[in-house]
Structure 1
């Protein structure tokens, strides 16, 4: 990657010129002016820059020197250093005695900007490679060799226990790079892979050597989004060991979103696994059972039962949860009993009612 591009050089010249009264020139590693406040000088060889590149140090050009040196004016020329290499030269036109302090600041700002641009470029490349890996793992017939190549390129730790995590972000402004940086600060960057599959969905492959530590890692992922003040809904799969299990784990997360009737912000497949068993039964059979058990039960009764089961058949907790009097709740439960012939307060009957509502 050429870190000092013409586009970057033009940006540096434009921004620096706003803050100084001097002309700014940026020269490449051949000494050619690639950006200047004076557009007529672009493309000209700057002999002062060539001296900087040869001597590997700052070169001051006086008014007398500029007469002898091609393409130069009086001023200060400084090497632009990136990763211990000179990648170009920055020249500031004017009285050298008055420019040294400003020149050092401009040089430092330029080098910081190059580093920032480089690491952003590197991060974007890493994210794209991780997205390619997720895309490949989700294919029906994934390429083993391509997956191995991507894993090696990413320098990933293929730890024993794995989970798929899907995060749906509500319509909000967010930065992909900020999310990745925050996640990497919170958990080891080599133990997860992230993909931004569309504008508001993120898919993560998280790994660890311990199942308990993996669960902690999942909680940390959720906390990162809380700290970034992003409203999200997050689903996690069952644990799997082989990467072949990723596609199935992804589908488990999809089921979590479909069956998360309470709208919980963070839900695992374990939380709704029993509901998914019903989806393996013919729909006509499900509907027949639902109609036979619930009959024509109204929505208020169904919502009451949902809350009662959600609060573990606890009368006091459910009444508080629904903001109703205890006696009102008992009346509603008695009404359900009369309509269905099943007592919601009795465990075996409650199971039948719960299954019917899941249907």
Structure 2
């Protein structure tokens, strides 16, 4: 890859000229000027640089010699090395006897800038490769690219470590990423998606649910206290192996969809709390929810005041306990009984019976998740 490009060359020129106050030119490995304090010289061939590349050593140009050569001025030109190869030339314009002392320092500064740019590029490239691997992992279907394991080993990713998936929904991925980056462990893996961040978090399998809930709670509280921004986190379960990570991601993905529909005021959605809605979302992919009867829609159509729906939900939230449901609604038990009779009359299902209550509840969930 050509690291000494026009952008980096001009950065070297601007930075160096600001220090020594002399015009600087940077040439590529063909002797073409790609960075200069004199913009009119960009893309010109610098004969002095061509000589440096041919000879493999520095080349000084006097005022008299400059008159005989094409596209050059008096100055000092030195090779820029990377991996013991000349990849360019840096030149300082001026009388050689006046600027000779600057030459080696300027060359070293240019090489350091180049090395830094290459290091940053390599880090960014490794991060992109890691993200590509994470994408392959969460969409794993039993087969991997033959190079997958080789890439993982080169990047130092231990695929045997237990991990679980978290999906983070945010309105500002960059700020959220920056916040999370310093709080993740070395072995944690990330993937930036359109409006979300996927984290494959290393965990202790024996207490993954409590560990991840506590972690997510800390992230959200800390992020909101500093950024005052929107953030939601859904958490999948731990399952071993690559197929387990893909399953954990699917759980977190569907849990986020279910949580946003059913409890939009909450910030953390744990798969264990949304097992049934996630089951319905998965089943709907295969058209298996089409046979669910629209009991909830029947109920809403006859419930102009919303009292029957409110009572049904209270019964669900109290696990079918009528006394607790009546207290939650601040109504007498007989009033609740009357409302439940009306629900039975409308839907043909008695919510006091566990099976009938489940039928209405499944109908409710299916309606809310659409």
TM-score by length of 1: 0.66
Over residues 141-164 of structure 1, what are the superposed CA-to-partner deviations in whole Å (9 max), with x where a residue is unaligned? Answer: 522634313312322022432212
> 2-side partners of 1:18 and 1:335: how far apart?
83
Match of 1:195 among 191, 208, 213: 191
SS at match of 1:164: strand
Over residues 84-106 of structure 1, what are the superposed CA-to-partner deviations in whole Å (9 max), with x where a residue is unaligned? Answer: 98754432324675897899689
- Change over 3 Å in CA distance of 1:85–1:47 after alignment to 2: closer
User: Is the CA contact 2:76–2:99 (under 8 Å) kept in the aligned structure 1?
Assistant: no
Partner of 1:255: 254
SS at match of 1:287: coil
- Change over 3 Å in CA distance of 1:20–1:295 after alignment to 2: same
List alignment gaps of at least 5 residues for structure 1: 319-326, 343-347
> 1-side partners of 2:303 and 2:71: how far apart?
89
> 2-side partners of 1:190 and 1:328: how far apart?
46
TM-score by length of 2: 0.64
- What pairs up with 1:333-352 in 2 under 5 angstroms? 336-341=336-341, 352=357
Pairwise CA distance, 1:336 = 4.8
User: Is the CA contact 2:235–2:271 (under 8 Å) kept in the aligned structure 1?
Assistant: yes
Partner of 1:271: 273
Pairwise CA distance, 1:267 = 1.6
Are 1:186 and 2:183 counterparts? Answer: yes
Partner of 1:324: none
Count of equivalent residues: 334
Pairwise CA distance, 1:239 = 0.5
User: Is the CA contact 1:48–1:72 (under 8 Å) kept in the aligned structure 2?
Assistant: no
Pairwise CA distance, 1:187 = 2.2
Are 1:91 and 2:91 counterparts? Answer: yes
Over residues 59-108 of structure 1, what are the superposed CA-to-partner deviations in whole Å (9 max), with x where a residue is unaligned? Answer: 88665786799865344556657689875443232467589789968974
Partner of 1:155: 156
User: Is the CA contact 2:167–2:197 (under 8 Å) kept in the aligned structure 1?
Assistant: yes
SS at match of 1:267: strand
> 1-side partners of 2:217 and 2:239: how far apart?
18
User: Is the CA contact 1:74–1:93 (under 8 Å) kept in the aligned structure 2?
Assistant: yes
SS at match of 2:197: strand
> 1-side partners of 2:61 and 2:167: how far apart?
60
- What pairs up with 1:99-138 in 2 under 5 angstroms? 108=109, 113-115=113-115, 117-137=117-137, 138=139
List alignment gaps of at least 5 residues for structure 2: 343-350
> 2-side partners of 1:97 and 1:223: how far apart?
61
User: Is the CA contact 2:27–2:88 (under 8 Å) kept in the aligned structure 1?
Assistant: yes
SS at match of 1:186: coil
User: Is the CA contact 1:158–1:207 (under 8 Å) kept in the aligned structure 2?
Assistant: no
> 2-side partners of 1:44 and 1:330: how far apart?
89
User: Is the CA contact 1:278–1:286 (under 8 Å) kept in the aligned structure 2?
Assistant: no
User: Is the CA contact 2:78–2:103 (under 8 Å) kept in the aligned structure 1?
Assistant: no
Partner of 1:145: 146
Over residues 154-178 of structure 1, what are the superposed CA-to-partner deviations in whole Å (9 max), with x where a residue is unaligned? Answer: 22022432212222333x4x54xx7
Partner of 2:52: 50
User: Is the CA contact 1:48–1:69 (under 8 Å) kept in the aligned structure 2?
Assistant: no
Are 1:287 and 2:293 counterparts? Answer: yes
- Change over 3 Å in CA distance of 1:333–1:113 after alignment to 2: farther
> 2-side partners of 1:22 and 1:332: how far apart?
90
User: Is the CA contact 1:236–1:267 (under 8 Å) kept in the aligned structure 2?
Assistant: yes
- Change over 3 Å in CA distance of 1:63–1:309 after alignment to 2: farther
